[in-house]
Structure 1
Amino acid sequence: MTDNETPRIVKANHLLQAKVGIGSIDEKKIRRSQKLMDNAGVDFVPMAQQYLDELGTAIEAARTMTANDTPKKKIQAMIEPVMQIKANAGMFDYTLVGVLANVMLNFLETLERVDDDVIAIVDAHHKTLKILLGNNMKGDGGEYGRQLQAELKDACRRYFAKIASNRQTTDEAFFIDGGSA
């Protein structure tokens, strides 16, 4: 926004507030809820593996386009399992998995077509998550995690740079970190 532009005021929607009420949440309830989550005995890996299987199927389907397929359908089929992984990883302390899924989700949501390079990037992401989950790699992965995140972002940047001449711009929207998963 430039200095000459008038800011646009958006009226807040209070639907969520109406559902949950106002004020703070009792700290005892928060601790009790956290304790329940910590001791629930739910294993993220089998859940994530199911989503990775779905992603693998979507990747294979994206390799072949039929008359009834559209790029949008192929992309959406890859988005859904990635979105589920991103949504659940953080709750189980798989921060790196969630962060990588966030980068991939933003990449996929920006696409308009599926080509061999897109498939290669998504497939590399798929294989990376399988390795991380297979090794039960919780947390942010430290320096290794930062390198993986940087490599995935760089692969996405290279892809957008390659198609920039067709789009007239490199879409950088997915590089907003937004914190952890």
Structure 2
Amino acid sequence: MRDQDDQLHIYELYGVSTPRVIKATMELRNRIGHGTKITSEQIEKAQDFIDTSGLDYSETALGYIKQLEGVIEEMRLSDYDRESDYNMVSMPIVQIKGQAGMFGNDLASALSYRILVFLEKFRRLDDAVLDIVGVYCQAIKLSYNLKLYNIDTKGGKEIVSELDGVLERYRQKFADNIQG
């Protein structure tokens, strides 16, 4: 039991996720065969690859940004239902927040968190809010293009500061519209 506790401490200390066994879906089991067993060594090898490979998440994140920019452009060109279209705007941001955090991009995760809190508090999608979401898109693209992944770097702090400034100016202007 002690070795297992030490291993968990090492995982927590170095920010490495704990390997876990997940039962495959029936479709996947049919594809690989019912009798196939995945050994703990294979699981450890896969986990080690995930933790050390340095996978580049930027293409996926920038794909979400492109999707979000398309939604914003479409909303600007047509009448839109501010409440039902809220999810169309927030879902790509939620995906970026979660996946950026999982892949070690604290800056993109922090920017996404800030914009999600903002959207949730105001719960409205007027042109000014769409402009702010556009600023968020530019900030995410800039962070990936400059390969800024840490919020504690000079560039990371500047990007966060700029987004915070934009959000604060909107809050001051429309403080009476805050939901909570």
TM-score, normalisation: structure 1: 0.68
The separation in 1 between residues aligned to 2:156 and 2:140, in whole angstroms, is: 12
The corresponding residue for 1:39 is 52
The separation in 2 between residues aligned to 1:137 and 1:143, in whole angstroms, is: 9
1:103 aligns with 2:133: no
Aligned residue identity for 1:63: R
- The alpha-carbon deviation at position 38 of structure 1 amounts to 2.3
Q: 2:155 aligns with which of 125, 136, 144?
A: 144
The corresponding residue for 2:93 is 82
- Which is further off, 111-120 or 93-102? 111-120
Q: 1:161 aligns with which of 152, 172, 175?
A: 172
Q: Which has the higher contact order (CA 8 A, sep 6+)?
A: 1
Q: How does 1:162-177 map to 2 (within 5 A)?
A: 162-165=173-176, 167=177
> Using a 3 Å threshold, how does the CA distance of structure 1 residues 25 and 108 change in structure 2: closer, same or farther?
farther
Aligned residue identity for 1:39: T
Residues 61 and 74, structure 1, Cα contact 8 Å, conserved in 2: no
* Long gaps (5+) in structure 1: 1-22, 174-181
The separation in 1 between residues aligned to 2:153 and 2:49, in whole angstroms, is: 27
The separation in 1 between residues aligned to 2:117 and 2:87, in whole angstroms, is: 12
Moved over 4 A (4+): 23-26, 31-34
* Long gaps (5+) in structure 2: 12-17, 20-43
Identity among equivalent pairs (%)? 26
- The alpha-carbon deviation at position 62 of structure 1 amounts to 2.4
The corresponding residue for 2:83 is 72
The separation in 2 between residues aligned to 1:54 and 1:115, in whole angstroms, is: 19
Q: Which has more radius of gyration?
A: 2
Q: 2:129 aligns with which of 118, 131, 134?
A: 118
The separation in 2 between residues aligned to 1:80 and 1:150, in whole angstroms, is: 24
- The alpha-carbon deviation at position 86 of structure 1 amounts to 0.2
TM-score, normalisation: structure 2: 0.68
Could you list the per-position Cα deviations for residues 37-81 of structure 1 after superposition, in whole angstroms to 9, with x for gaps in the alignment? 223563201111211111111211221342xx3101232211000
The separation in 2 between residues aligned to 1:133 and 1:141, in whole angstroms, is: 15
The separation in 1 between residues aligned to 2:52 and 2:117, in whole angstroms, is: 32
The separation in 1 between residues aligned to 2:167 and 2:142, in whole angstroms, is: 20
The corresponding residue for 2:66 is 53
Residues 95 and 138, structure 1, Cα contact 8 Å, conserved in 2: yes
